[in-house]
Amino acid sequence: MLNISNNKRHTHIDLEQFKAFPKAFDNSYFKLFNKFLLAFAIIGIIGMFLPWTQNVTGKGFITTLTPSQRPQTIQSPIPGKIEKWYVKEGDFVKKGDTILFISEIKSEYFDPLLVERTKNQRDAKNRSVTSYGNKITALRNQLSAIKNEQTLKLKQARNKLKQSYLKVQSDSIAFQAAKTNIKIANRQYERTLTLQKEGLKAVTDVEAKRLKQQETQAKLITQENKLLASKNKVINARIEINRIAAEYADKIAKSESVLFTAESSQFDAVAQASKLDNQSANYEIRNALLYIKAPQDGFINKALKAGIGETFKEGDKLVGIMPTNYDLAVETYIEPIDLPLIHLNEKVRIQFDGWPSIFFSGWPNASFGTFAGKVVAVETFISDNGKFRILIAPDASENHNWPKNLRVGSGAYTVALLEDVPVWYELWRKLNGFPPNYYQPETNKNIKVTKSKIKK
C-alpha cells in the first residue's frame, strides 16, 4: 500500500485480522525467488561461456548432382501435329523408346516420296557430272592434239624459213659470181677492143667479146632477181610462222574456253549434286524426327501437349521425363555477405521437408534427424533472387545416408557449420549485426604453410 496521504489507516485499523496479511508479509517467498534469480543468473553466466557453432543458413530444394540427371522436357525440333501417343503418364521408358508420333504441317514436306524423288534428282545430277567429266576429257585430248599440230606446223614453217635463208645465201653467192663474171667480161671486151684497134684482133673477136659481155650482164640481172626472190621467200616464211602461231593460238584459246565452260558446268553440277545429297539426308533425318523418342531411361511425368491432332511449333515442350538413375544434391541460396564463408568441401547439415527433426543450429551434436552434406560448387555470379547459389552433395564420410524416398524438387533447410565461439560472443555479434568470423578451411591453411616453407 502506498502512503500517499497523511491519514495513516494502519494506525486506526488492525491489519492482522485480515487473512491476506500473513501471506503478504511472509518473507519466505521473497527468499526463494531471490535464490531462483541467483541460480538463473549463475546458469546464464556459465551458459555464456558454452561453445556455440557459428553457421550460415539457407533455404533450398533437392536437385541432382549433374544436369543430365535432372527432370527435363522433350521438345520437337520441327513443327508438327500429334498423331499417336505410345505412352501414358507414369510409364517407364528406356532410351530410344517411341513416345509419340507426329506428322508434318508444312506443305513442302507433304510428299510421302520426297526422299526417293530427291535421291533420283541427286543421281541424275551425278550422271550429269560424269558426262561433263567425259566431255572435259575429250576437250583436253582435242586441246593436246591442237598443240601437237601447232608444234609440227611451226617446225615445218621454221624449216622453210631455214631453207629460204640457205637459198638467199646460195643466190647471194651466185650474184657475187655474176658480178665477178661481168667484171671479167668487161675487161676482156676492153682488152679485145684495144687489140683490135692495134690490129692484133679481128672485128669478129670484138663482137664475140661484146656478145659475151651482154650475156654476162643478163646473167647478173637474172641472178639478182633470184636473190630478191629468195629474200621474199624468207619474209614469206616469217609471215607464215606468225600466221600459224596466231591461227593455232586462236584454236587453243577457243578449245580452252570450251574446256573451262565444261569444267565450270561440272563444278556447278557437283555443287547441285552435293546440295541434293544434303537435302536427301536432311529429309531422311526429318522423317526420323517424326517419331519422338526418349533421350534416356526414365518415367513420363506429364504430357504438356495432349490429344490427337493438336499442332505445335518447333521447340515447344511436349512431355516431361524424369531420369531413373540420378545422384541427389541440394541447391540452396545464401546471402552475399555470407559468400566468403563458404568453401568447397564445407560441412553442411541438411533438414529435409517431410523428415521430422530436432535441430539446434548452434549445437549440431545435439541435433536429431539432420543429414550430412558437403559443398561441391559455389556459384560465382549472383542469381535473380539476389543470392548466391550453392550445390551440396551427400557427405561420403558420414555413415548415415540420405533417405531413399527423397524426390527432386522437395524443400530443404541447410546450415553450413563454421567456427566454434562462446555464446556471449555470438550474442554480441548478433546484436551488432556483424557477420560470422571470416576464416579459411584447414586444407587451405596447410597449403599456405607449405608454400611459405618452399619459398624460404
CB 125 within 8 A of CB 276: yes
Model confidence, pTM: 0.58
Query: Where in the chain do CATH 2.40.50.100 domains reside?
Result: 81-100+290-323
d(C-alpha 415, C-alpha 334), whole Å: 10
Q: Give me the sign of the Cα torsion angle 424, 426, 432, 434.
A: positive
**Residue 453 pLDDT exceeds 70:** no
What does CATH list as the number for 114-286? 1.10.287.2610
d(C-alpha 152, C-alpha 189), whole Å: 54
**Residue 438 pLDDT exceeds 60:** no
d(C-alpha 324, C-alpha 69), whole Å: 8
In angstroms, the first-to-last Cα distance of the chain is: 81
Question: pLDDT-derived band of residue 249, with 50, 70 and 90 as boundaries?
Answer: very high
Class level of CATH domain 81-100+290-323: mainly beta
pLDDT the model gives residue 360: 56
**Residue 201 pLDDT exceeds 80:** no
Q: What is the mean pLDDT of residues 297-315?
A: 88
Question: Which residues, including other chains, have CB under 8 Å from residue 83's CB and lie 6 or more apart?
Answer: 100, 101, 102, 103, 308, 309
* Average pLDDT of the chain to the nearest whole number: 83
433 secondary structure, DSSP code: T
pLDDT (tens digit, 9 = 90+) per residue, 143-160? 999 999 999 999 999 999
pLDDT the model gives residue 403: 85
Fold of 50-68+326-449: Elongation Factor Tu (Ef-tu); domain 3 (2.40.30)
CB atoms within 10 A of CB 220: 20
d(C-alpha 224, C-alpha 414), whole Å: 125
CB 348 within 8 A of CB 415: yes
Q: Give me the sign of the Cα torsion angle 323, 326, 328, 330.
A: negative
pLDDT the model gives residue 451: 37
Q: What is the mean pLDDT of residues 89-112?
A: 90
Query: Where in the chain do CATH 2.40.30.170 domains reside?
Result: 50-68+326-449
pLDDT (tens digit, 9 = 90+) per residue, 152-199? 999 999 999 999 899 888 888 888 888 888 888 888 888 888 888 887
Query: Where in the chain do CATH 1.10.287.2610 domains reside?
Result: 114-286
d(C-alpha 253, C-alpha 239), whole Å: 21
CB 360 within 8 A of CB 367: yes
CA angle 398, 400, 405 (to 5 degrees): 130
pLDDT (tens digit, 9 = 90+) per residue, 2-59? 556 666 665 666 666 666 666 666 666 667 778 888 888 888 888 787 777 777 788 8
pLDDT the model gives residue 400: 76
d(C-alpha 157, C-alpha 164), whole Å: 10
**Residue 449 pLDDT exceeds 50:** no
Q: Give me the sign of the Cα torsion angle 377, 380, 383, 388.
A: positive
pLDDT (tens digit, 9 = 90+) per residue, 387-423? 899 999 998 877 778 888 888 888 998 887 777 777 7
